Chains A and B, each alone.
Chain A
Amino acid sequence: MSVTDLEPYTTEDGREIGGVVMEMKNITLRFGGVVAIKDISFDIRQGEIRAIIGPNGAGKSSMLNVISGFYTPSEGQVWYQGQPRPAMKPFEIARQGVARTFQNIALFEGMSTLDNIMTGRLTHMKSSMLSQGLWWGKAQQEEAKHREVVEKVIDFLEIQNIRKTPVGRLPYGLKKRVELARALAAEPQILLLDEPMAGMNVEEKEDMSRFILDVNDEFGTTIALIEHDMGVVMDLSDRVVVMDYGKKIGDGTPDEVRNNQDVIDAYLGVAN
């Protein structure tokens, strides 16, 4: 199975992988004089789990921020669903079906778990402020309808018992799970995960890996993730991009990447 082959195919475990949904074309990102990303291109295909890995400071998070629209690339373009994506605000990109989680948890601490996950639905909610103010007809129905979707996500991620707990009181691992729930509730086309397993113990990592695989399997959601833990990444993902010092040094299936000499050098260090 080669990466250049763009025909849809079925994986060994029976998941459908489709055509390209998103493509980075020669992305460069600069902050003043610092070049965070240097001329990187890669694609993400429908239904796959795509990982971006690399040592600290490789530019992985910057790359994710470009995809989610938080940073605008200095050069190059992001193609989404076959078209170049025009300059947009991050919230507009979210409305196109790109949802994400954050490396340092970014939950809304003043709200309950349920409300946090409900915010994931807001790109789908349409009732006017007037109707909400009167809590009559459409607003009320809409609230109940979206609550149903959210409850499914809550069941799926097994967080029923913390439904009404303020998220500020939750332990770290659960917060990460609530964040995933919020992103899932948006029913995204592409789900971006920024170090979903950072700071977790082995058990929590296993739980999270299982959820990621289940999400991909059950909903067919395309997932792009950044991760430090090589072992986890290689087990989870269909294809891997490897970055180092802002450049792409490898791209392919986990096996291909594992045998790539540049990647081995970057991770193990090379004697100069």
Chain B
Amino acid sequence: MFYNTAGQFKTSYTKDQSLFPVKQDAILLGVVLLCAWIIFPMTASEFTFKTMLMPVLCYSLAALGLNVLTGFAGQLSLGTAAFMGVGAFACYKLITIFPEMNIIVAILLSGVFSSAVGVAFGLPSLRIKGFYLAIATLAAQFFLVWLFEKWHWLSNHNPSGAIEVPNIDMFGITVAGPNAAPVTQYYLILAIVTLITIVTINLTRGNQGRIWKATRDMDIAAELIGINLLKSKLTAFAVSSYIVGVAGALFVFLNLGAAEPNFFDIPLSFKILFIAIIGGLGSVMGNFMGAILIVALPVVIKFLPDAIGLEINPATVEHLNIMTVGALIIFFLIIEPHGLARLWQLIREKLIIWPFPH
């Protein structure tokens, strides 16, 4: 009833290829954007900003980057966190070497570095396929984290190898560092995430998207219809690592404020991978749903026993959380291997014909 698509005719191919051929989808997205841009910021507490809203956005962005590589181009990567690290460290070096540089520019530039590193580690992808490639991406994961720890130049010779974000002003407003207001940081993150998401949607629905998907679905056929596989895979590595790197820089500079090298270790890589899987490989919106789930889960696990009067210690919460995530992954793979995004699609198909299913 609410999702009735009858009467929405397209009179040109351009219109048929527009982002929201169905009007209701556009309205729904409008509501989501309204919440993200106006309602949440007006109602959220500082704590909610720091521990929920901003991490959700940063995780979503990182998962989006991984999804370009794994979900769209079909190259499984287990080294996402290391590329986030490259972005964060690159950003740190940029703002210490060029203190005058605008922080937004620095963050967007730092993606270029992770992109370059991503392409370097993506080069073997033409000869190494499938699981072998997945293991090869672990080489990047372990090597890069080791490098963050050992190469003290990266952290400006901080003995622990950690990076600490100084106070950074932009147009007279403090946007990063201990003095920054969470709401300012939230808007900056939201703006960058929105921008990159739009560009990614465009890339994946057009010709480049088809090239990646063809590479993913059947690489031999893709090559025989004229796709340069090396180029297709390397552009996927480049775009993916760029987004992941920006996500890392955003996360550290505008949300966390500091990070040690081992923050970018393999558990973070897995976390991002789960978000992408649970959200749905080959989907853009799924990353946001997955990130919300992953961030909300420990909160729910913590508050649920509280609500019914059970005492539960923080370590147990953490363990239960890990266990639940594991169980959820298996659950989703069995019920719907394409994740929350596909689940939503199915619901939508049902809604279109509801309440008269014939």
Contact = CB atoms under 8 A, between A and B. Distances in A.
Query: Do any beta carbons of A and B sit within 8 angstroms of each other in the complex?
Result: yes
A108 B73 CA distance: 12
Residue of B203, B217, B282 most packed against chain A (CB within 10 A):
B217
Give the interface centre of A115, A119, A120, A123 by most chain B CB atoms within 10 Å.
A119
B17 A122 contact: no
A72 B21 CA distance: 46
Interface stretch (A28-36, A98-106, A241-249): A98-106
Contacts of B269: none
Interface stretch (B84-92, B104-112, B141-149, B221-229): B221-229
Contacts of A148: 13
Contact of A89 (B16, B207, B223, B235): B223
A133 B202 contact: yes
B217 A110 contact: yes
Contacts of B97: none
B225 A99 contact: yes
Interface string A75-109: 00000000000000111001100011010001111
A200 interface: no
Given A91-B229, A132-B203, A119 B223 contact: no
Nearest to B17: A143
B226 A100 contact: no
Nearest to B199: A133
Interface residues of B, number: 32
B223 A91 contact: yes
B213 A144 contact: no
A168 B214 CA distance: 14
B206 A95 contact: no
Interface in B211-245: 211, 213-214, 216-218, 220-229, 235, 239
B14 A144 contact: yes
A90 B224 contact: yes
B4 interface: no
A129 B235 contact: yes
A118 B205 CA distance: 11
B68 to A, nearest CB: 12
B350 interface: no
Interface in B74-101: none
Interface residues of A, number: 41
Interface string B193-213: 000000110110011101101
A135 interface: yes
Contact of A122 (B203, B207, B221, B239): B207
Q: Is the interface of B mostly helix, strand, loop or mixed?
A: helix
Contacts of A110: 213, 216-217, 282
A94 B210 contact: no
Nearest to A146: B207
Contact of A119 (B17, B214, B228): B214
A95 B199 CA distance: 28
Contact of B206 (A106, A109, A139, A186): A139
Contacts of B207: 118, 122, 125, 127, 132, 139, 142-143
Contacts of A270: none
B210 A115 contact: yes
A264 interface: no
Contacts of A165: none
A68 B225 CA distance: 10
Contact of B17 (A94, A99, A108, A144): A144
A135 B220 CA distance: 29
Contact of A120 (B13, B211, B225, B235): B225
A11 interface: no
A100 B224 contact: yes
Given A89-B223, A90-B223, A147 B210 contact: no
Contacts of A102: 221
B163 to A, nearest CB: 30
A211 interface: no
A45 interface: no
Interface in B247-284: 282
Contacts of A106: 218, 220-221, 224
16 contacts: A69-B224, A70-B224, A91-B227, A94-B223, A94-B224, A94-B225, A108-B214, A111-B210, A119-B211, A119-B214, A122-B227, A123-B225, A143-B14, A143-B206, A151-B13, A186-B225
Interface of B: 12-14, 16-17, 199-200, 202-203, 206-208, 210-211, 213-214, 216-218, 220-229, 235, 239, 282
Given A122-B210, A147-B13, 8 more contacts: A95-B226, A99-B225, A106-B221, A110-B282, A115-B213, A127-B207, A143-B14, A182-B225
